[in-house]
Structures are given as C-alpha cells and as structure tokens.
Copies of this chain bind each other. A is one copy, B any other.
Amino acid sequence: MTTMLEVTDVTAGACCTPLQREPLSAEEAEQLAATMKALADPTRLRLLSIVAASDGSEACVCDLIEPVGLSQPTVSHHLKVLTAAGFLTRSKRGTWAYFRLVPGALDRVSQVLTAS
C-alpha cells in the first residue's frame, strides 16, 4: 500500500520573480518566506541533504534517525514540515515510511535567489 501525504506546494509559488531582478510583491514574499522557514532549521537541512545523497534520492525514515541523533518523533516532525513545504514526498511500504526528494523543488528556490 502506498500512502501519500497531502503536499502544500509552496515551492511552486517560489518559482516566479527572481529576487534580485524586481521587487517581490507582498504575496510572493509571504510564499517565499514560508518556503525559507522550512529550510531555516539545521536538522531539516541535514535530513534534506541525506535524502538527496541517497540512492534514487530516497531514504527510509529508519535510516535517518541515527545520522541526526534525534528521536524518531522529532525526525518525523521535521520530515513532515519538509513534505508540507513541497521538498519531499512520503510513501509507506510495510512498517516504514520512505521520503523522496521532489525533483526541482530546491532548484526553484535557488533560481529565485540567484542574479544570473
């Protein structure tokens, strides 16, 4: 059985105006800030980088607990925030949940920040 969490795709909203090209509207700034908040945590950044570096950009939650040295509920909370922000998708296989990087999601944020 595969269960997908609902994804609030705030990264899609971050795709629009490159920050250094023209002033962001209030609405764009709100969307981008929400995306940045999901990234503004050291544990979430490490989890994202571990998932990204895993085979097929996918990792079992069971393999994410030890590297960050936190409890499973805490790790699951951070993964839920990253999923809600559109950076990860979640699927369940047997006992464990697997998290996969959403292709292009981090690149869309990157493109908003760059001048080139």
Identify the A interface with B (CB < 8 A): 17, 19-24, 26, 29-30, 32-33, 36-37, 39-46, 48-50, 52-53, 67, 101, 106-107, 109-111, 113-116
Complexed CA–CA distance, A101 and B52 (Å): 31
Contact A23 B113, beta carbon cutoff 8 Å? no
Which residues on the B side are within 8 Å of A43 (C-beta)?
29
Complexed CA–CA distance, A20 and B37 (Å): 18
Known: A17-B49, A29-B46, A106-B113; 18 extra A-B contacts, CB below 8 A, are: A19-B45, A19-B106, A20-B49, A20-B101, A20-B106, A23-B67, A24-B45, A24-B46, A30-B42, A33-B41, A33-B42, A37-B40, A39-B113, A107-B114, A107-B115, A107-B116, A110-B114, A114-B114
